[in-house]
Structure 1
């Protein structure tokens, strides 16, 4: 299965979904049961752990949203994309890029996240 750039938009939408039931449904639709997510701050496996990670980020950054910071680039079974996390209409204090790898059904099985800009600790 070839990954497509629109996968990045669906991925960011899942990270922005604040309703727990809707987020769980998006995660079930988009990710494999045994998805792995790794960035410099966390490494988790499984849909429930990913859901908990997303909820924790939303709690840490209330009112912030993920937005694509450029076009997604996809080939074979992977897609990479840059993103910003911040309040709408303001400079985003957090930015990074992710690489997502899909399985044969088009669901994301692996995410490798990188942080390019993070706020200084208070």
Structure 2
């Protein structure tokens, strides 16, 4: 999976996309027809639910950006990566890692998220 790093960067870009139409189009392109996103804060089944979950995160943390924090570790159709959420160029308020499972065509099918650092 030589393009996994690029897929993860595009995945994080979706979390930063504030234009609803552009975000929804990117989700439609990057995720399978029946995807699942799970983290400690909730479960999103389907593209519409994932879009809503991302929009809610943007409302909870206005002006913050998701960025990679380290290298992507991948094998077969699975990747794990650490990410940060914070102000552009500033200290991260939230740090977590996700495990992504890709479909045979390379699209995201399942993402399991974990939170390592959250605001108090």
For normalisation by structure 2, the TM-score amounts to 0.95
SS of 1:24's equivalent in the other structure is helix
> Are the counterparts in 2 of residues 15 and 54 from structure 1 also a CA contact under 8 Å?
yes
The higher-RCO structure (CA 8 Å, 6+ apart) is: 1
Residue 5 (structure 1) shift: 2.3
Equivalent position SS for 1:11? helix
Map of 2:64 onto structure 1: 64
Give me the whole-angstrom Cα distance separating, in 2, the residues matched to 1:89 and 1:9. Answer: 17
What is the distance in 1 between the residues matched to 2:74 and 2:16?
Answer: 22
TM-score by length of 1: 0.94
Does structure 2 conserve the Cα–Cα contact (< 8 Å) formed by 1:36 and 1:109? yes
Structure 1 unaligned spans of 5+: none
> Counterparts in 2 of 1:80-99, with a 5 A limit?
80-99=80-99
Deviation string, structure 1 residues 61-107 (Cα, Å, up to 9, x no partner): 00000000011111100111100001012111100000110111111
- Separation in 2 of the partners of 1:84 and 1:44? 20
Structure 1 consecutive aligned stretches of length 4 or more whose deviation exceeds 4 Å: none
Structure 2 residue ranges without an equivalent (≥5): none
Aligned residues: 119
Q: Structure 1 residue 20 and structure 2 residue 20: aligned? A: yes
**CA RMSD between the two structures:** 1.0
Contact 1:63 1:87 in 2 (8 A): yes
Q: Is 1:50 equivalent to 2:50 in the alignment?
A: yes
Quote the Cα distance in structure 1 between the aligned partners of 2:77 and 2:89: 34
